[in-house]
Structure 1
Amino acid sequence: MSSPNDSSHQGSLLSPVIVTDFSGRERSVSTASSAWSGPTDLNHSPTSPVSPDMAWNQPDPGRLMVQNASHRSSPSIDGDTLRPRADSFASSADTVVRSRANSEVDPNCKAVYDDVSLSDALKPDPRNESDFQVEDNRFAFSPGQLNKMQNPKSLAAFHALGGLQGLERGLRTDLDAGLSIDEGLLDGTVAFKDVAPSQDASATSLPKAVAEAPEPVSSGSGSPFEDRVRVFSQNKLPARKSTGFFKLLWAAYNDKIIILLTIAAVISLSLGIYETVDEGTGVDWVEGVAICVAILIVTIVTAVNDWQKERQFAKLNKRAIKVTRSGKTNMVSVYDIMVGDILHLEAGDSIPADGILVSGYGVKCDESSATGESDQMKKTHGHEVWQQIIDGKATKKLDPFLISGSKVLEGVGTYVVTSVGPYSTYGRILLSLQTPNDPTPLQVKLGRLADWIGSLGTGAAAILFFVLLFRFVANLPNHPEMTGAMKGKEFVDILIVAVTVIVVAIPEGLPLAVTLALAFATTRMVKENNLVRVLRACETMGNATVICSDKTGTLTQNKMTVVAGTWGSDQDFSQRTEDADVEGSMTISAVSQKLSAPVKDLLIKSIALNSTAFEQEKDGSIDFVGSKTEVAMLQLARDYMGMDLVSERGSAEIVQLIPFDSARKCMGVVYRVPGVGHRLLVKGASELMVGTCTTKIINIDTAKERPDVEDLSETQKKDILETIDNYAHKSLRTIGMVYKDFASWPPREAKHFEDSSANFEDFFHSMTWVGVVGIQDPLRPEVPSAIRKCHSAGVQVKMVTGDNVATATAIATSCGIKTEDGLVMEGPKFRQLTNDEMDEVVPRLQVLARSSPEDKRILVERLKILGETVAVTGDGTNDGPALRTADVGFSMGIAGTEVAKEASSIILLDDNFKSIITAISWGRAVNDAVAKFLQFQITVNITAVILTFVSSVYSSDNTSVLTAVQLLWVNLIMDTFAALALATDAPTEKILDRKPVPKHVSLFTLTMWKMILGQAVYQLAITFMLYFAGDKLLGAHLSTEPEMRKKQLSTVVFNTFVWMQIFNEFNNRRLDNKFNIFEGMFRNYWFLGINTVMVAGQVMIIYVGGQAFSVTRLSSVLWGVCIVCAIACLPWAIVLRLIPDYHFGIVFNAVVGGMSFVLRPISKGCKAIGRGIRSFFRPVKRLTGRTLKKQDADDKVELKPQTIKSDDLEQAPEKLESKPEPSPERPTTPPPVVVPPITITTSH
C-alpha cells in the first residue's frame, strides 16, 4: 500500500468518485481531503479492518459507492414524533469535556442545529475532568469528549469530533468491518488535531490524512483490547464494595441504646456471678445473661436483615448481541462490548451502550425509560447528518444518537459504540445512585431519646448510688462487727441496685419495637401493592408532606382511549354519562347499539381500513400494535361495534392508499363498494376535516341501504367547531372522519398517475362529515378520591410531567391537583429561577409541565431545603436521581425500569397512585406503633425507676421491692411482647384525617405526656400504698409468719405492678383523647394472642416461679386486690382524657422548666462520665476498626479481575449506597460489576 505522501496517492485523492444518491442517479463527487463529502467517502481497507493508516479518501475503482441512507417512513397520525431534545433530557451526572484535544473551532461559527455553539461543544466542566485526562491515550478522544455527544444530545459535539469518519479514525475502528479480533496493545497514537475539523471558519472540512498511522494490532503481549479497555473501560461499572457480615454486625451494635445496655449487662453479669459464688444461689447472674441475650438478638437480627438486603440483587437476563469484528458478524455478550464496536440493531433490542447510527432503515427508538422522552425518536444515520451539516441544512430534529437503556421499536441498522460502562448514559445514572441515605426523622428522634434516657437513667443511678453509699458509710461506726468481706458485699449490693436502675431506665425493647413495626407493616403492604425495599422509607412516608407525581401511568391509565365524541353533528357520546356537558349525551355503548347497519359499517371501515395499526398476539391475548391514536380508535370499534379487524381488511378491495402527511395532517384510503362504486375515507386533524365538508350524515339510527346525508350549513360547521374546541379544552386529542363516494376511480377531475392512482388534492373536497372522536389517556377512576384523601391528610400533590401546559393543566384540574390559587410552570422557565425565586414559587407550584428529569430533581431539592418531607414517583431510568434525592422514592412495578426500581424505596406493584395513599397510611401506622410503644414503655420505666429508687432508699438492707429477676420479666419480656402487640395495629381510614408530623416535632405529644405521667402517678400511688400500708390494709389476708408475710406483700406489689402494665397496654392503643380503646382490637389477632400469653406467663410466675422470681402463691382475695387495683387504670385513663391538653400543657411546661434548671448540672456531669467511658472503649473500637479494614483489604486482594467467573457478573449494582467515586482513569483495577441495560423490559 502506498504511503499517503506518494504522488500517486495524492493524485487519487483528487479523482472523482461515482456515487449513487437517494433517487438512484449517479453523480461525481470530489474526494479531496480538504473537502470531505461525508457519507460518500466510505472506502476502507478490506484486509485490515481497523487500519488507521489507510487514506480515508482513496477510492477503490472496483467498489460501488452507495450512499447508506435510512428509509424515510411516513409518520403516523400521531404527527411528527421528532422534537428538540436539548431541554428534555438532563443527566444526573455532570458530563464534561476536556479541551485537551486542541480543536480550534471558529468561535464565531454558530451551530443553528444545536443550542450549543461549536466553541462550547467541547467545553470542559471541572467537576468531571478525570473523564478527559487519560494517561498514554492511544486514541484521538477521551471518554468524556465522546460522552459530550449524548449528555445531552449534541450535534455540535458530533460536528466538533469530525462526524462518523472522525469517530472512525479517532477510535481506530472501521465502520464496515468493525474492530479487529486480534487487537491487543496498540502501536502509535492518533491525535485529535488529525481527525477533528480544521480551523476553517466553515468548520466542515476533514483533517488531512495522517502518514504512518499505527495499526491497532497486538504487539505480542496484553489481553484482548487492553488499551481500549484501559482508556474507555468496559460495559461494566466499578465493583460495588460489598459489606461483610461482621462489619454489618458491628454497625448494628454501634447504637447508643445497645452500648448502654452492654455496659449495664457487663456490670450486672459480673456482680451476679460474684453474688452467685459468694452466696451459692443460682439466679443472681440471670439478669446479666438475659440482657446480653437481648443485645445479641437485636444486633444479629439487624445485621442479618442488612446482610440479606446487601445480597438482594436481581438476576440479569444475560444476552448476546450481534457485533461485526474483522468483517465478520459474531454474537458477543453485552458485557464485552467495546468502544469502537459496530453493533447490529433490530426491533425489540435494548440498546446496551451509547453510540452513533452508522446505517439504518426506518430506525425508531423508545427513549422514555432512558431520557423521559415519551415520543418515538426517529434516527437519522450519521452520514446523512454530516452531509446536512456541511450543506448548512442541519436542524435540531436530526438525531443520530443511540442512548443506552432505550429500546428499538422499528427498523434495522448498525451503530458505532462511543461510550460504555461508567461513561454511558445508563452507567452514569447508576453511578449517580451511589449516595448515602440521610437518617430518617424517626431515627434522629430516637437517637435524641437514647441520649435523654441514658442521661436521666445514669443521673438517677448515680444519685441512688451515692445516697446509699453515704448511708452505708455513716452507719459503719454502728456496726463494728462487720468484717471486710461483709463490707465489700454491702458495697456490691449498693452497686447492683444502682445498675438495676440503669437497666430499668433504658428501653431495650425500643429497637425491637421499631423493627417489628416496620417488618409487620412492610409484610402487609405487599398485599396492598407496595413492595418496600428500604425499611426506613415506610416510617418516613407516614410524615410525607409533598408528593411529586408523574402523570402518565400513575395518575392516568397509560392507555390512549376514546373518551368522547360526536357522530354527525348532534349525537354526542362519552365514556361515562357524567363526563359529558352536552344535554342528550349518551354513553359509547348506548350510542353504538342504536347505530344503523350502514352507519356502523361506515364507521368500522373508516377506522379499520384507514389505519396502519395491526393485531398481534401477546401472552395469549390479541392486542393492537401501532400508533396510540389509531389503537384507541380500533379498540373503540372492536369493543363497542363488534369489529373484526382481520375480516374487515381481508374482505375490502383497496384501490388507493393515501399515507399520512404532516403537511396536510390527514390520511386516507379508497376501496370498492358494491352498488356505489368507490368510497374515499379520510381521517385527520378535525378542524381541517370540517373545512372540506359540504354535507353531513344524519339519522344514524335509521335502517337504510346507505347513510342519510344533508347539506352542512355554516352555522352547523360553527357548532361542530365549538364541539371540537370544547374537547380540546378538556385536553382531548381530536380526530375527524369524513368520506366521499365516487362512481368510478380514478375520478375524472383528478390528475392520474401511471399506477391508476389520483392526485389527492384534486378530489379532497365536498366531503361528507362523519364525526369526531376525542382521545385521551384517561385518569384512573380512583385518583380523584385519592387526591382528596391526600389533601385531608395534609399532603400536597404536585404533578411533574413532560406534557405541554394545556394537557398537564387539564389533567391536574380534573383530578383535583390544580386549585384556583395554584401555579403552573414550564420546566425551562422553572430552572431559570434563582434559589430565592424558587423558594417563593415552589410552595404554590402545583403543575410543572414540559419538565426534564433535572427539573424534577431540582424541585425535590428545593422542597427538602424548605423543610418538606418529599415523596417522588418515577418509572424511567432518567428518574433515578430524583427518586434517590427524595425522602421516599416510588417506582412503578409494571412500567418502571430496573434503574428506577433500584433508586426507589418503595415499588408500586400496580403503578397506581392509590397505592401511595396506602403507603402513607401504613407509614403513619408505623409511627403510631412506635409512639404507642414509647407511651407504654416510658410509663413502665418511670414507675419502675422511682419504685426501685424509693424502695431501695427506704429498705434497711438496700434492696428494691422488685428484684432483679422480676424487673427482667417486666422490663425485657413484657417489653418485647408489648412491642409485638402494639406494632400490629393496621391503619384505619381516620388515620388520614390528621396533618403529617413535622420533622422538628418531638416524639412525645402533650397528650402522650398526659397519659404517661398520669398513669405513672396512679401506678406509683397504688404500689406505694401496697408497699408502705399493705401490711395494715391486707393484714387479715396475710400469713402470720413474718418472712412469709413480707414475701406475700412483695408478691402482691409485683403482681399488681405487672397487671397494671397489662391493662395499661389497652390504654396505649389510642394516642388521642378518644375513649374507645377497643376499636379494631378484635381484628388484631396478634394483640389478642400476645396478651393471652402475657396473662398466662404472669399466672405461671406466681404459681410455679417462686424461687427464681422471689414470689409466693396468693389467695383468691389477694388476687382480687391485685386485679381490681390494676384494672382501675382503665377508668383513670378516661379521667385523664377529659383533662384539656391546653391546661395540662401549662402545668407540664412549668414543671419541665424547673426540672431542667435543676438537672442541667447533673446532665453535664453525666456527659463527662460518658466521655470517660467512651475514652475507655476507644482503643477497643480502634482495634476492631483496624481488623475490619484489614479484612476488607484481604478481600480486595482475593478478588482479582481475571478470577471472576461469568456467574459473578450476575451481581449487578442493584443497591449502590456508597459515595460515587470519580470516573476511573484506568478502570481495570476493581473487579467489575455488570451494567444491565438489557433488564429494561418495560411495557409502554
Structure 2
Amino acid sequence: MTVVAGTFSTTSFTALAQSDSEKSTDGTVPVSTWASSVPTATKELIVQSVAVNSTAFEGQEDGQATFIGSKTETALLSLAKDHLGLQSLAEARANEHIVQMLPFDSRRKCMAAVIKLRDSNKGYRLLVKGASEILLGYCSSQANLETLDEEPLDSTQRQALQNTINQYASRSLRTIGLVYKDYPQWPPAGMPSEDGHVKMDSLLSLSDLTFLGIVGIQDPVRPGVPDAVRKAQHAGVTVRMVTGDNVITAQAIATECGIYTGGDGVIMEGPVFRKLSEADMNAILPKLQVLARSSPEDKRILVTRLKALGETVAVTGDGTNDAPALKAADVGFSMGISGTEVAKEASAIVLMDDNFTSIVTALKWGRAVNDAVQKFLQFQITVNITAVMLAFITAMYDDHMEPVLKAVQLLWVNLIMDTFAALALATDPPTEKILDRPPQPKSAPLITINMWKMIIGQAIFQLVITITLYFAGPEILNYDRNSEDEMLQLDTIIFNTFVWMQIFNEFNNRRLDNKFNVLEGVHRNQFFIFINFLMVGLQVGIVFVGGRVFEIKEGGLNGSQWAICLVVAFMSMPWGVVVRIFPDIWFEKAAKFVGRPFVIVYRILGKGFSAIGKLFRRKPKAKDTESTDIPATVVIAPPEEKGQERG
C-alpha cells in the first residue's frame, strides 16, 4: 500500500509522476513539491501523528530495512520517511513523552495517542488517526498549514473536505484523516478519567478537534483477483466484501473486483446492517454484496445469520478482531503473511500467500477430493455387490458349497478393489470444469441417485455375465460338464472375465455424471494410466503362470478364450452408456418401489432390536449416580487486548 494523494489545509499533493514545476489544473502538486513547501513545525506535527500514534515498527525483510505492521500505518510511515524528514521511527518515539495510547476502536474507526509537548507551556497534544469522514464530524476547526493556527471550520470548508474524501474514495483509495487537539493539562478539565487515562468516547464526545489533513492510500487489487472472483461466482459461490472502508471506497474496489454488480446488488454500512430486524436482514441478505464501515461484530452477525439460513459460509480475516467470525464460519481462512496469530489459531486454513486466488484453488481441490471419494465408493460398492452375490449363488448351487471365485482369487480382486482403485480413481487432479457446477448442500448424500444407478446397473451386468457363464457356459462354449479340465477352463474364463470387467469399469467410474466421455482428462492422471497397465500386466501374468496358486487352468487360456473374456468384459463400457441414458427420475422411482419393503423391514427390525436392548441395559446404581454428581466447571478466558484493524 502506498500514499498516492493528500490534502492539508488548502494544498493537495499527488504521487503521480510529473515534474516538480508542473501543477495540475485543480491545484494539486507533486508530493516532493508539496513537502518542500511545508514548514518544519507542520512536518513535525504530521510525523508525530503517524509515528507516535502507530503500532508499526522498524524491521528487516530479505535484508532490507522496512516497516512492519498494518499496511495502512506502514504506508503513512513511508510517506513520513521519504518526504517529511523521519529518520528513525524508534528515535522519533523516544524523543516524545507518550502519556497515553488509545488502541484502535472498531466502532469509532480510529486510534489515538497523547504526548506531553516539549515546551511545557503548551501542555499536551492529542493525536487521532482514522476514518477521515468520521473524524471530520468530530472537528470544529482546521489547522492552517503555514502557522498551525486553528481556524473555524465552516460548512463550506467542511463540504470541500467531504468532497475531497469522496473523490479519493471513488478512485479506490483508503482515506485516512489526521486530527489533533492541544490541551493545557491532561486529563482535560471536566473530562472523566481513570488513573489519568481518558476513554476514546469521552475525547470525541465534545467534537472540538482540529482537522489536520487527509491522505489517500492505494491498495491495488492483486492481479488475478477479479478473475478468481468470477470463477468463484461461476461455481455458485456468492462473494461478499466486508470492509472497514467507507461506502464509496468499498463500492469502487468491489466494482473493480467484480463483487459489486449494480442492479439489484446492495451496499450497506455496518451500523445500519446491525440494527435491522431478523426479518429485514433475511430479506436483504440475498442481495447484499458489500458491507462497508463494518465492525468485527457486524462480520460475526453476517456469518451467523447466513448459517441460520442454511448457507455454508467461508470467511477470510487477518486481524485479532476477526477471530469470532473465523470461528463462527464453516471454514475460516486467515492470512499467513499479514494475519495475527490469534486469527491463524481461529481459522481452519492459513493462506500462505494472502491471495484470494488460493481460495478458488482450495475450492477446486475440495470438490476434487469429494469426487475422488465418490468415484472410489461407486467402484467399490459395485465390486462388493457382484462378488458377494456371485459367491453366494454359486456356493449354494455347488455340491461342495464352493463358490466359483476361490479365496485367493478374491484376495486379488480385493487388492484391485481397495488399493489399486483408490490410487487410480482418487488421484484425478482438479480442472477448471470442476467449477462449472453448483456447490453441493450439506444435506446432499455421499452416494447420489446417479451413483446408485451406475452401481446397480453395472452390478446387474456383471452378475448376468458371470452367472450366465457359470450356468450356461458349457452349452455356450461346447464344454463337457463331466470334464474336469474343461470345467477348470470355464472357471478360469469366469475369473478372468470378472477381473477384466473391473478394469474396464474403472473407466466408467471416472465420471459421476451422465456424460459419455469417460476418457476426458485421463492423460493428466499418470497414476491412473500406470495402475491400469500394472493391473493388466499382473492379470495376464496370473492367468498364464499362476494356475496352481490361483486354482485356475495351468498354462493359461488360448486366443479364442482370451477374446471371449476381453470382448465380454469390454461390453461394460457401452453398457455404461446405456445406464447413463436411463433417466435418473425413472431409476429413483423404481428404487423407491423396489426398496420400500426392505425399508419397512429394516425399520421394524431396528425398533425391535432397540426394544430388546433396553431390556438388557444396566440400570445405574445409586452409587454410580452419586459418583458422577460433579458440579459443572466453567472456564472463562481472560479478555484479550483488541488488535488493530484497518481504518
Residues 1:605 and 2:44 aligned together:
no
* Paired residue secondary structure (1:775): strand
- CA distance in 2 between counterparts of 1:809 and 1:1148 reads 49
Return the alpha-carbon distance in structure 2 between the equivalents of residues 721 and 1175 of structure 1.
74
Return the offset for 1:1236.
12
Per-residue deviation, 1:893: 1.7
Letter in 2 for 1:917: V
Helix, strand or coil for the counterpart of 1:796? coil
Equivalent in the alignment of 2:589: 1150
Deviation at 1:959, TM superposition (A): 3.2
Seen in structure 2, the aligned counterparts of structure 1 residues 637 and 849 have a Cα distance that, compared at 3 Å, is closer
Greater alpha carbon shift after TM alignment, 819-828 vs 783-792? 819-828
Cα 1:1178–1:892 change in 2 (3 A) is farther
Are 1:1072 and 2:496 matched, yes or no? no
Task: For residue 1001 of structure 1, report the CA deviation from its aligned partner.
Answer: 2.8
Indicate whether 1:814 and 2:256 are aligned.
yes
Deviation at 1:1130, TM superposition (A): 2.7
Cα shift readout 1:36-89 (whole Å, capped 9, x = no counterpart)? xxxxxxxxxxxxxxxxxxxxxxxxxxxxxxxxxxxxxxxxxxxxxxxxxxxxxx
2:567 aligns with one of 1124, 1129, 1140 = 1124
Deviation at 1:832, TM superposition (A): 3.6
The residue aligned with 1:947 is 390
In 1, are the aligned partners of 2:516 and 2:577 still within 8 Å (CA)? yes
Shift of 1:888: 1.3
User: What is the distance in 2 between the residues matched to 1:855 and 1:599?
Assistant: 39
Unaligned runs of 5+ in 2: 24-28, 52-56, 89-118, 129-138, 178-212
| Paired AA for residue 219 in structure 2 | D
> 2:427 is aligned with what amino acid?
T
Rounded Cα–Cα distance in structure 2 between residues aligned with 1:721 and 1:830: 23
Q: Is the 8 A contact 1:608 1:634 kept in 2?
A: no
Is residue 319–residue 645 contact of structure 2 (8 Å, CA) maintained in 1? no
Residue 185 of structure 2: aligned partner? none
Q: Distance in 1 between matches of 2:315 and 2:571?
A: 48
Q: Secondary structure in 2 aligned to 1:843? A: coil
Deviation, 1:603, is: 4.7
1:903–1:987 Cα change, 3 Å:
same
- Give identity over the alignment, percent: 52
- The answer to whether residue 223 in structure 2 is matched with residue 784 in structure 1 is no
* Alpha-carbon distance in 2 for matches of 1:996, 1:982: 21
- Residue 930 of structure 1 aligns with which residue? 373
1:564 and 1:1031 map into 2 onto residues whose CA distance is 94
| CA deviation map 1:7-33 (0-9, x unaligned) | xxxxxxxxxxxxxxxxxxxxxxxxxxx
Deviation of 1:998 (Å): 1.8
Partner of residue 1160, structure 1: 599
Task: Encode CA deviations 1:530-582: one digit per residue, 9 max, x unaligned.
Answer: xxxxxxxxxxxxxxxxxxxxxxxxxxxxx3442899xx999x989xxxxxxxx
Would the alpha carbon gap of residues 827 and 1237 (structure 1) be closer, same or farther in structure 2, given more than 3 Å must change?
Answer: closer
CA distance in structure 2 between the aligned counterparts of 1:1242 and 1:722, rounded to whole angstroms: 25
- Counterpart Cα distance in 1 of 2:140 and 2:69: 21
8 A Cα contact 2:169 2:249, kept in partner: no
- 1:989-1008 map, 5 Å: 989-1008=432-451
Q: Compute the displacement of 1:944 (Å).
A: 2.4
Give 1:860 shift: 2.1
Q: CA deviation at 1:1170?
A: 5.8
Contact 1:801 1:849 in 2 (8 A): yes
8 Å CA contact 2:449–2:588 kept in 1: the answer is: no
Q: 1:1046 aligns with which of 487, 498, 506?
A: 487
Which among 559, 562, 582 is matched to residue 4 of structure 2?
A: 562
Q: Partners of 1:836 and 1:1241 in 2: how far apart?
A: 33
Counterpart among 442, 445, 461 of residue 1018 in structure 1: 461
Contact 1:798–1:817 (CA<8 Å) still a contact in 2?
yes
Q: Is residue 897–residue 1242 contact of structure 1 (8 Å, CA) maintained in 2? A: no
Shift of 1:988: 0.6
For residues 729 and 871 of structure 1, the distance between their equivalents in structure 2, rounded to whole angstroms, comes to 28
Q: Which amino acid aligns with 1:1153?
A: K
**Displacement after TM superposition at 1:991 (Å):** 0.9
The equivalent residue for 2:406 is 963
TM-superposed deviation, 1:917: 1.2
* Paired residues of 2:409 and 2:550 also in contact (CA < 8 A): yes
Q: How does 1:699-1098 map to 2 (within 5 A)?
A: 725-732=166-173, 774-819=216-261, 820-971=263-414, 973-1035=416-478, 1042-1098=483-539
Compared with structure 1, are the counterparts of its residues 828 and 1243 closer, same or farther at alpha carbon in structure 2 (3 Å cutoff)? closer
Please report the RMSD computed on the Cα atoms of aligned residues, expressed in angstroms. Answer: 5.2
Give yes or no for contact 2:542–2:550 (8 Å, CA) kept in 1: yes
> Partner of 1:1222 in structure 2?
634
C-alpha distance in structure 2 between counterparts of 1:1085 and 1:1129, whole Å: 23
Q: Quick check: 2:332–2:348 contact (8 Å CA) kept in 1?
A: yes
The residue matched to 2:66 in structure 1 has which SS?
A: strand
Q: Deviations over 1:488-514 (max 9, x none)?
A: xxxxxxxxxxxxxxxxxxxxxxxxxxx
The superposition leaves residues 371-395 of structure 1 with CA deviations (integer Å, 9 ceiling, x where unpaired) of xxxxxxxxxxxxxxxxxxxxxxxxx
Higher relative contact order (CA 8 A, sep 6+): 1
Aligned to 1:699: none
- Any gaps of 5 or more consecutive residues in structure 1? 1-558, 575-587, 648-656, 670-679, 693-716, 737-770, 1193-1219, 1225-1233
Question: CA–CA distance in 1 between the matches of 2:383 and 2:504?
Answer: 12
Query: What CA deviation, in whole Å up to 9, does each residue of 1:89-134 have, x standing for no partner?
Result: xxxxxxxxxxxxxxxxxxxxxxxxxxxxxxxxxxxxxxxxxxxxxx
3-state SS, counterpart of residue 987 of structure 1? coil
Pairing of 1:426-445 with structure 2 (within 5 A): none
User: 2:491·2:552 contact (CA, 8 Å) conserved in 1?
Assistant: yes
- In structure 1, distance between residues paired with 2:499 and 2:39: 77
Residue 1119 to residue 733, structure 1, CA distance change in 2 (3 Å)? closer
Give, in angstroms, the shift of residue 1053 of structure 1: 0.9
SS of the counterpart of 1:797?
A: coil
Aligned ranges 1:178-327 → 2 under 5 Å? none
Partner residue, 1:516:
none
Q: Taking structure 1 as reference, are residues 1080 and 638 closer, same or farther at Cα in structure 2, changes over 3 Å only?
A: farther
Match of 1:522 in 2: none
Cα distance between partner residues in 1 of 2:532 and 2:613:
40
Measured in 1, the distance between the counterparts of 2:175 and 2:467 equals 81
Instruction: Provide closer, same or farther for how the CA distance between residues 1086 and 607 of structure 1 changes in structure 2, counting only shifts above 3 A.
Output: farther
Render the CA deviation track for 1:154-195: whole Å, top value 9, x for unaligned: xxxxxxxxxxxxxxxxxxxxxxxxxxxxxxxxxxxxxxxxxx
Matches within 5 A, 1:359-438: none
Displacement after TM superposition at 1:1242 (Å)? 12
For normalisation by structure 1, the TM-score amounts to 0.38
Residue 540 of structure 2 corresponds to 1099
Aligned to 1:960, the other structure's residue is in SS state coil
- Name the aligned partner's letter for residue 602 of structure 1: T
1146 and 722 in structure 1: CA distance in 2 versus 1, 3 angstrom threshold:
closer
Which of 618, 631, 639 aligns to 2:60? It is 618
- State the shift of 1:1067 in Å: 1.9
How far has the Cα of 1:806 moved from its partner? 3.8
Taking structure 2 as the reference length, what is the TM-score of the superposition?
0.69
Aligned partners of 1:959 and 1:826: how far apart in 2?
75
Amino acid at match of 2:235: A
1:667–1:971 distance in 2 versus 1, CA, 3 Å: farther
- Determine the structure 1 residue equivalent to 2:190: none
Partner-residue secondary structure (3-state), 1:821: coil
Q: Which amino acid aligns with 2:222?
A: R
Q: Which position in structure 2 is the counterpart of 1:398?
A: none
